[in-house]
Amino acid sequence: MNKPLASAALQGKRILITGATGGIGQWVAKLCHESGADVMLQGRDTAKLDALCATLTDRVKCFQYDVTDEHAVKRTFAQIQSDGLDGLVNCAGIMQDSALAMTRLQSVREQFDVNAVGSFLHLQLASRIMMRKRAGSIVNLSSAVGEQGSGGQIGYAMSKAAVTGMTKSAAKELAPFNIRVNAVAPGFIDTDLVASYSEGKRAQIFSHIPLVRAGEAKEVADLISFLLSDHAAYITGQIIGIDGGMRL
Amino acid sequence: MSNQQKLVQSFSSALAIAQEQVQDLLAYNSIPEWDSTAHMILIAELEGQFDVMLDTDDIIDMSSVGKAKEILTKHGVSFE
């Protein structure tokens, strides 16, 4: 396994990671922790969250709640605010594939609630804590689908496009406070979200990827940990693709 | 330091104005120093100073120094 970007790149930083038990979230948690950060991990599944926290031993706090529950989100921020916050990663997300004609409004709303509104809630509260130190880095999870569209994923694409707009708007508004806001836009990454895809479907997707393979969750986490670090101090408002060249 | 003094200091620091200017009637947007950007700095100062987490409605409603005291009182801060 490759070493983290720099072993102490996030030393002493306090970073909240939502969706920490997901494919990308777990790697973000591990890499941030290895890079010296104090990590605060959000998840809905208590068993998965406890198991993850057990692997990280010290410098870790776990918070079990739903990112769409406004009161739970506020309770969490009330608990962490006094110690400050240096980084936020909005990894929590859901994806529901369906053709336009077969997409229920409920599905669109659910994806919006988790992917966009949940991220907004965390961004809003995190930025207020970061303002106290006039410093911080927020990384949202957009998607190549949100940037380019994708047949059969209209609800997901809408929710991720919203994340892109939110990221750019927040970056402009928070730049005067030295708070950077960026998003990563993964392409086809091997996570549970796409575990059900058939070999035929994967092959069809790979035919559009110059690197002809799926990305790994760790590769996305590497990019996120870089954006959280001071190595990325002059980067804000960017939606950075990590997609094997899918958009070339 | 009393809560009143902390409040005055927070306003003075966030808005970059003299402490003498911090009076109950001083209102949002009534002076150039208290614009929307300074308002966010003020919120951060007050939350840090008094260890409270304000609601979005509180931030919108915080239209004057007097109103700020009223809102902070609601969150358990006493100005007696």
d(CA A138, CA A89) in angstroms, rounded, equals: 6
Alpha-carbon distance A79 to nearest alpha carbon in chain B (angstroms)? 9
Mean pLDDT, residues A125-131 taken together: 95
- In this prediction, residue B80 carries a pLDDT of 78
Of A156, A159, A158, whose CA–CA distance to A97 is shortest? Answer: A156
Amino acid identity at B24: D
Alpha-carbon distance B24 to nearest alpha carbon in chain A (angstroms)? 24
Res. A135: pLDDT tops 90: yes
Q: Which residues of A touch B47 (CB under 8 A)?
A: 81, 128-129, 132
- In this prediction, residue A240 carries a pLDDT of 97
Using the Cβ of B41 and the Cβ atoms of chain A, whether some distance falls under 8 Å is answered with yes
Average pLDDT of chain A to the nearest whole number: 94
For residues A28 and A224, is the Cβ–Cβ distance under 8 A? yes
Give the residue with greater pLDDT, A114 vs A195: A114
What end-to-end distance do the CA atoms of chain A give, in Å? 28
**Tens-digit pLDDT profile for residues B13-34:** 999 999 999 999 999 999 999 9
Burial class (CB in 10 A: 0-12, 13-18, 19+), A202: middle
d(CA B77, CA B80) in angstroms, rounded, equals: 9
Rg (CA), chain A: 17
Tell me if A128 and B44 make a contact (CB, 8 A cut-off). Answer: yes
CB atoms within 10 A of CB A129: 24
**Tens-digit pLDDT profile for residues A3-46:** 555 578 999 999 999 999 999 999 999 999 999 999 999 999 99
Binding-site residues on chain A for chain B (CB distance < 8 A): 74, 77-78, 81-82, 124-125, 128-129, 131-132, 176-177
Mean pLDDT, residues A174-202 taken together: 93
Alpha helix stretches (DSSP H) within B1-80 = 3-15, 36-50, 56-61, 65-74
In the block, residue with structure tokens 């594939």: A97
Which candidate from B37, B44, B55 shows the least CB-CB separation from A132? B44
Using the Cβ of B53 and the Cβ atoms of chain A, whether some distance falls under 8 Å is answered with yes
d(CA A214, CA B31) in angstroms, rounded, equals: 56
Give, as one character, the DSSP assignment of residue A189.
B
**Which positions of A are annotated as active-site residues?**
156
| pLDDT-derived band at A194, boundaries 50, 70, 90 | confident
Strands A87-90 and A14-18: parallel
**What residues does A38 pair with on adjacent strands?**
A14
Q: Which residues of B touch A125 (CB under 8 A)?
A: 53
For residues A118 and A67, is the Cβ–Cβ distance under 8 A? yes
- In this prediction, residue A130 carries a pLDDT of 96
Tell me if A128 and B45 make a contact (CB, 8 A cut-off). Answer: no
Amino acid identity at A39: V
- Max CA distance (Å), chain B: 30
- In this prediction, residue A63 carries a pLDDT of 97
Mean pLDDT, residues A164-171 taken together: 98
Res. A196: pLDDT tops 90: no
Tell me if B37 and A176 make a contact (CB, 8 A cut-off). Answer: yes
Tell me if B37 and A132 make a contact (CB, 8 A cut-off). Answer: no
Q: What percent of chain A has pLDDT over 90?
A: 90
Using the Cβ of B66 and the Cβ atoms of chain A, whether some distance falls under 8 Å is answered with no
Tell me if A128 and B37 make a contact (CB, 8 A cut-off). Answer: no
CB atoms within 10 A of CB B12: 16
Res. A1: pLDDT tops 80: no
Tell me if B40 and A78 make a contact (CB, 8 A cut-off). Answer: no
Give the residue with greater pLDDT, A7 vs A91: A91
Alpha-carbon distance B12 to nearest alpha carbon in chain A (angstroms)? 15
Alpha-carbon distance B10 to nearest alpha carbon in chain A (angstroms)? 12
Minimum Cα–Cα distance from A173: chain B residue: B37
Res. B1: pLDDT tops 60: yes
Burial class (CB in 10 A: 0-12, 13-18, 19+), A199: exposed
3-state secondary structure of B30: coil
Q: Kind and range of the H or E element at A179?
A: strand A179-186
Minimum Cα–Cα distance from A134: chain B residue: B41
3-state secondary structure of A144: helix
Q: Kind and range of the H or E element at A218?
A: helix A217-228
Which candidate from A78, A132, A177 shows the least CB-CB separation from B53? A78
Res. A120: pLDDT tops 70: yes
Q: What percent of chain A has pLDDT over 70?
A: 97
- In this prediction, residue A4 carries a pLDDT of 53
| pLDDT-derived band at A82, boundaries 50, 70, 90 | confident
Domains of chain B as residue ranges with CATH = 3-74 (1.10.1200.10)
